[in-house]
Amino acid sequence: MFSAPLVLLGLLALPGLYFLLRLTPPAARRVRFPPLALLRGLAAVERTPARMPLWLLALRLLIAALVIVGLAGPQLHPPPALPGSGPVLLVIDNGWASASDWAARRDAALQVVAGAGQAGRGVSVLATTRDASNAAPRVQGVMPAVQAAQMLAAMVPEPWPVDRAGAAQALHGPTGDVVYVADGITDGPGFAAFMAALHPSRILSDGVVARLLAAPHLLANGDVAVRLAAGVSSGRVLAQTAAGDVLASAAFADGEAHLALPVAVRNKLARLVLTAPASAGGTLLLDSTARGGMVGLLASAGNAEAPFLGSLYYVRRAVPVGSAIITGDVTALLAAKVNVIIAADVPFNDTQIQMLQGFVRNGGVLIRFAGPLTADAPDTLTPDVLLAGERRLGGALTWSAPQNLAPFAPASPFAGLPPDTGVSVSRQILADPTQLNPATVWASLHDGTPLVLGRSLGAGYLVSVLTSANTEWSDLALSGLYPAMLGRLVQLAQGAPPKPDAPLPLMQALDGFGGLATATRAAHVTAQALPELMVSPEHPPGLYGSGAAMLALNVGGHVPRVVAAALPGAVAFDGTAAPVPFGSWLLAAALVMLAVDLMISLLLRGLLRLRGAVAVVLLLLATAGHADAQDAALGTTLGYVLTGDAATDQITADGMSYLSALVSAHTSAQLGAPVGLTPGVDDISLYPMIYWPILPGTVTPSAAACAAFVSYMQHGGLLVIDTPGGDAGTPGSGAGFAPGAADAVQRDTACLNLPQLQPLTTANVLAHCFYIVSNFPGRFVGAPVLIANEAARDADGVSPVIVAQNDWAGAWARDNAGNPEQTPLPGGDDQRILADRFGTNLVIYALTGSYKADQSSLPALLNQLSAP
């Protein structure tokens, strides 16, 4: 395909050029005039001038042909040619399913427009998605190709499904060619009618169903399970904070990924995001209802967990799945910083009451179940005044029959839950009717007797369930309503839930690429209607509500079921690659050949010697080879061990790159770009410090790798061994992030004959060789950092190895824009600064050894020298 095909008419002139070159003799050759005596006897015979050599003639004809073809604008992958004439109708799906490959989709559409422009045809454009104002799809009238290209360049995918029924109504007997850029999925029975109305002459589709994240759920072990509702089960999912910092990542296996997040970290989880390409379907916003919490259980009896009879037996099973459950006394639970405390018939003394009041005022939720111990002597730690004693069948305050639950009031946290009419209560504690505040009644029986009282206290809530937590006083614990009610109460720790029918305004909106930004237009949903809503221009995905009581509306779970569309004859996007002009290469080749022609002409005329021509050609063709090993030998470069896990290697590379830049900027050391190494294959002796991240489940080092590590440490290298967290129950904030990390370190270093290790303290030169640091945090902090003892260090006092589980590279890592890639826990940005400083100390320690120790002892040395 040529952008200027008429230029090819110049090829017709090549035969004439051939004869012209054949008839034109070469330039006369200059020779020295010989003496006249040599001319004697020469015959005066007229000779025909010599003709141009055939190979030189062919070279010049080839030069002319290359110039002509190059000027004609040849292209690879030219825009598709459409048969027929008249305007071209371009129909493009721009819903949520188009975002993941939007660039390729738009490029394919632009090629169609370019092809129409070259043919002099107009273009109409129909986007099948309703716009933000909820206007139905409509055909944008016939326009020049340039204007259509500008429209496509400004078009973006919307975060809701396409409206093919509306698009079909916008078609009024289209004429000419129709090109459909499809997203590859159907939207129900209307898809066939849409295709019949469209009758496309060409379909472009990549044939891949867009990936869609389903709502996550918490497993019994506290992991967050993320499932793909549609799309290929590949890639990874990232757990991010509201600021976009990565808390954890996991790979998909069989359509599901499990994120190991300790409770303290899980409470910071704000969204789940599929790795690139970004899209609204690959992003899940999380509100407080999707996070677990820390729930403390209190009981006065030692057999509280006894099956079926214990006061906490049913409570433990009704706590929301994924919540961390801790048992203990008041002091232990408060020290564990639980969010919710559930007390089953536990009386409190004055000191405990004061402690629990402070807990509630600071945002905690205290849920108290009644029982014989609390019935006789009610204390003041209740939502309302309670009467001593209990009401029971056959007692002084008697019922004629067990009472059932009444429907929940609209203002109650239980509003919207269907009451279980089969639940009956035979015994309970009574609220004082003379002092009862009706606003504290969250649940009651059919006769109006309060069953659950609650009120806010400071930032938290006091809740009293006036019957037992087990089946001793009622059969509420046997009802499916029991875990639902307890779940609503546990959610109070995240803030007051919105009223079911209250309109919640859109605060932050999700765009088609999964970006979250402040909403620029009004939209409302209700908590009651949200589970059944479909995302649309009227209800875009995002966060609705205010304060802590925000609810998330996601694409996943709120679009029609995703089904791959049958698109016979569809052309894949990779079959419509962008046009590649190569006319400039042809002109460059012609220029090179012209230079060769000039050199040959000079040689034939005797103006250039062959040896000089060869030297010029060799100089032009000479190239410099790479010298990676020489760079490492001549400069100062840090190394890191490649693990084979792409995500870990990327984080490590980014972390080491930032550390190298940081050291170069703040010290006199100038470091080159870090190098990823495979010990046993690459020469690791050239690097003063090598960072080795060890992952659970990685392959044990080979014998050659072990020998390389041993030699490296024996000859002055510093090997920094680190893990992305530790096992559950180990010290430090990384506990639970890398189960099996300790075993992996022990297994992978068994062949290294590591020296005896001791904890790193602030007395070591590493703690003050550049910055003075009191601890050694990375992404995590609190776990011991181990270093070789004095006897195992080299002559410079440098330990050959440092072992930790603080994920230093995770704290150092920045992306291309300089933004942190992961969140240090629990200290955030302040902890990141300390990690950067310790990283600088590591490099200076590896480079200078005990020099800084001598420098820090300089005042003492001067005092000794000045002493008499």
344 strand-pairing partners = 299, 369
**533 part of a folded domain:** yes
618 vs 593, higher pLDDT: 593
Regarding whether 449 and 348 lie in a shared domain, the answer is: yes
493 vs 659, higher pLDDT: 659
How far apart are the C-alpha atoms of 152 and 107, rounded to whole Å? Answer: 9
What CATH number did the domain enclosing 104 receive?
A: 3.40.50.410
What is residue 784's predicted lDDT score, i.e. its pLDDT? 92
**763 part of a folded domain:** yes
Give the residue among 540, 457, 664 at the shortest CA–CA distance from 133: 540
- Looking at 290, 311, 345, the residue that finishes a domain is 290
Q: Which of 107-111, 182-186, 411-415, 602-606 comes out lowest in average pLDDT?
A: 602-606
**378 part of a folded domain:** yes
What is residue 661's predicted lDDT score, i.e. its pLDDT? 94
Residue 395 has pLDDT above 50, yes or no: no
Regarding whether 110 and 5 lie in a shared domain, the answer is: no
- Residues 799-849 have pLDDT tens digits of 899 999 999 999 999 988 788 888 888 888 889 999 999 999 999 999 887
What is residue 493's predicted lDDT score, i.e. its pLDDT? 81
What is residue 544's predicted lDDT score, i.e. its pLDDT? 93
**810 part of a folded domain:** yes
User: Which phi and psi (to 5°) does residue 649 adopt?
Assistant: -65, -35
Regarding whether 363 and 416 lie in a shared domain, the answer is: yes
Residue 1 has pLDDT above 60, yes or no: no
What is residue 232's predicted lDDT score, i.e. its pLDDT? 77
- Residues 328-356 have pLDDT tens digits of 889 988 887 888 999 998 999 999 999 99
Regarding whether 451 and 414 lie in a shared domain, the answer is: yes
User: Which phi and psi (to 5°) does residue 307 adopt?
Assistant: -55, 130
Q: pLDDT confidence of 575, banded at 50, 70, 90? A: very low
Mean pLDDT across the chain: 83
Tokens of 317: 């099973």
C-alpha dihedral (540, 543, 545, 550), degrees to nearest 10: 150
Domain housing 171: 88-210+563-578
Q: pLDDT confidence of 394, banded at 50, 70, 90? A: very low
Tokens of 829: 């940005």
Q: pLDDT confidence of 32, banded at 50, 70, 90? A: low
What CATH number did the domain enclosing 763 receive?
A: 3.40.50.12140
- Residues 229-262 have pLDDT tens digits of 887 777 888 888 887 878 888 888 888 888 887 7
**868 part of a folded domain:** no
Residue 187 has pLDDT above 60, yes or no: yes
Residue 146 has pLDDT above 50, yes or no: yes
Regarding whether 710 and 660 lie in a shared domain, the answer is: yes
What is residue 250's predicted lDDT score, i.e. its pLDDT? 86
What is residue 821's predicted lDDT score, i.e. its pLDDT? 86
- Residues 275-325 have pLDDT tens digits of 878 899 999 998 866 666 788 998 876 777 788 888 888 888 888 766 778
Q: pLDDT confidence of 853, banded at 50, 70, 90? A: low
Output b/e per residue, 709-747; b: 16+ Cβ within 10 A.
bbebbeeebbbbbbbbbbbeebebbbbbbbbebeebbee
Burial of 319 (0-12, 13-18, 19+ CB in 10 A): buried
Residue 572 has pLDDT above 80, yes or no: no
What is residue 851's predicted lDDT score, i.e. its pLDDT? 60
Regarding whether 476 and 408 lie in a shared domain, the answer is: yes
What mean pLDDT is predicted for residues 156-169?
A: 92
Residue 92 has pLDDT above 60, yes or no: yes
What CATH number did the domain enclosing 419 receive?
A: 3.40.50.880
The full DSSP string for 750-783 is: GGG-PPPEEE--TTSGGGTSSS--SS--SSS-SS
Regarding whether 544 and 685 lie in a shared domain, the answer is: no
Regarding whether 391 and 253 lie in a shared domain, the answer is: no
Tokens of 865: 């020298």
Residue 737 has pLDDT above 90, yes or no: no
What is residue 570's predicted lDDT score, i.e. its pLDDT? 74
Regarding whether 787 and 650 lie in a shared domain, the answer is: yes
341 strand-pairing partners = 296, 366
Strands 75-76 and 580-581: what pairing?
antiparallel
Give the residue among 382, 303, 390 at the shortest CA–CA distance from 348: 382
What is residue 639's predicted lDDT score, i.e. its pLDDT? 95
Regarding whether 55 and 149 lie in a shared domain, the answer is: no
Q: Which of 19-33, 58-72, 375-389, 410-424 comes out lowest in average pLDDT?
A: 19-33
Kindly report whether the peptide bond that precedes residue 826 is cis, defined as omega within 30 degrees of 0.
yes
- Residues 692-731 have pLDDT tens digits of 999 988 888 999 999 999 999 988 899 999 999 888 778 8
Regarding whether 757 and 610 lie in a shared domain, the answer is: no
The full DSSP string for 484-535 is: HHHHHHHHGGG-PPPPTTSEEEEEEEE-TTS-EEE--S--EEETTTGGG---
**753 part of a folded domain:** yes
Residue 652 has pLDDT above 70, yes or no: yes
What is residue 488's predicted lDDT score, i.e. its pLDDT? 86
- Looking at 265, 290, 315, the residue that finishes a domain is 290
- Looking at 245, 263, 290, the residue that finishes a domain is 290
What is residue 396's predicted lDDT score, i.e. its pLDDT? 46
What is residue 340's predicted lDDT score, i.e. its pLDDT? 92
**311 part of a folded domain:** yes
What is residue 541's predicted lDDT score, i.e. its pLDDT? 96
pTM: 0.62
Total structural domains in the chain? 6
**36 part of a folded domain:** no
Residue 674 has pLDDT above 50, yes or no: yes
Regarding whether 694 and 645 lie in a shared domain, the answer is: yes
What mean pLDDT is predicted for residues 39-56?
A: 61
Question: What one-letter code names the amino acid at 511?
Answer: D
